[in-house]
């Protein structure tokens, strides 16, 4: 009786070992097909697949032409209403930053350590926030953003070839946009 239990246990152990080994063999069959990643035609937004043309209709990533022609550094801030704040920290060869805040309690906080930067920011509404941090001494970046509505939040931390130039209008349909870009 004891011998038959040992044989049964050995068979079960062998079967269990074989199943585990077979499972590991299947799980290690990853291949990196560059053709598949290049041929993807869509981008995921809010959990839905959208075409590249639809994505581009929301976000324009064409480089701002002023990046190649600006010289010197300038900051222009217009604030209409109460409790608006703007903090701008720039270390660059050239910059042109324009800020317009129309509403109450809007906040803009910019930190750039780049070669050149062009920003044109407009907040229309109350309690909106824009945070933009790009630390790359060789980068030329631009951000053209209009926030139309209340309680809108945009944040970009870092920039790569896709996110270094962004132009779009943010509304209550997309109240929070966070972009984190690293190379």
Ordered by start, the domain boundaries in the chain are: 1-30, 33-60, 64-183
What is the model's pLDDT at position 95?
96
- Torsions phi, psi of 17, nearest 5? -60, -45
Percent of the chain topping pLDDT 70:
72
> What is the pLDDT averaged over residues 56-70?
77
What is the model's pLDDT at position 15?
72
Write down how long the chain is: 183
Is the pLDDT score of 38 beyond 50? no
Cα dist from 51 to 9, 43, 45, 92, 116, whole Å:
56, 6, 10, 36, 31
> What is the pLDDT averaged over residues 33-44?
48
Joined together, the tokens standing for residue 125 give 């509404």
pLDDT band at residue 112 using 50, 70 and 90 as cut-offs: very high
What is the model's pLDDT at position 39?
41
Contact 180, 158 (CB under 8 A): yes
What is the model's pLDDT at position 62?
79
CA 183-114-60 angle, to 5 degrees, is 65
144 pairs with which residues across the strands? 120, 167
Is the pLDDT score of 29 beyond 50? no
What is the model's pLDDT at position 37?
43
pTM for the full predicted model: 0.69
Mean pLDDT score across all residues of the chain: 83
Share of the chain residues as helix, strand and coil, in percent rounded to the nearest 5: 25, 50, 30
């Amino acid at each position: 009786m004891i011998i038959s239990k040992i044989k049964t246990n050995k068979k079960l152990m062998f079967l269990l070992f074989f199943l585990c080994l077979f499972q590991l063999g299947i799980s290690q069959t990853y291949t990196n097909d560059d053709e598949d990643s290049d041929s993807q035609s869509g981008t995921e937004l809010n959990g839905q697949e959208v075409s590249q043309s639809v994505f581009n209709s929301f976000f324009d990533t064409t480089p701002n032409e002023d990046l190649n022609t600006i010289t010197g550094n300038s900051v222009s801030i217009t604030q209409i209403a109460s409790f608006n704040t703007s903090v701008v920290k720039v270390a660059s060869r050239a910059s042109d930053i324009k800020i317009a805040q129309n509403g109450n309690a809007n906040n803009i906080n910019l930190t750039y350590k780049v070669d050149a930067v062009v920003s044109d920011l407009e907040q229309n509404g109350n309690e909106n926030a824009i945070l933009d941090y790009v630390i790359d001494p060789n980068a030329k970046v631009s951000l053209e953003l209009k926030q139309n509505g209340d309680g809108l939040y945009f944040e970009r931390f870092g920039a790569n070839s896709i996110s270094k130039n962004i132009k779009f209008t943010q509304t209550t349909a997309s109240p929070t946009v966070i972009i984190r870009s690293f190379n």
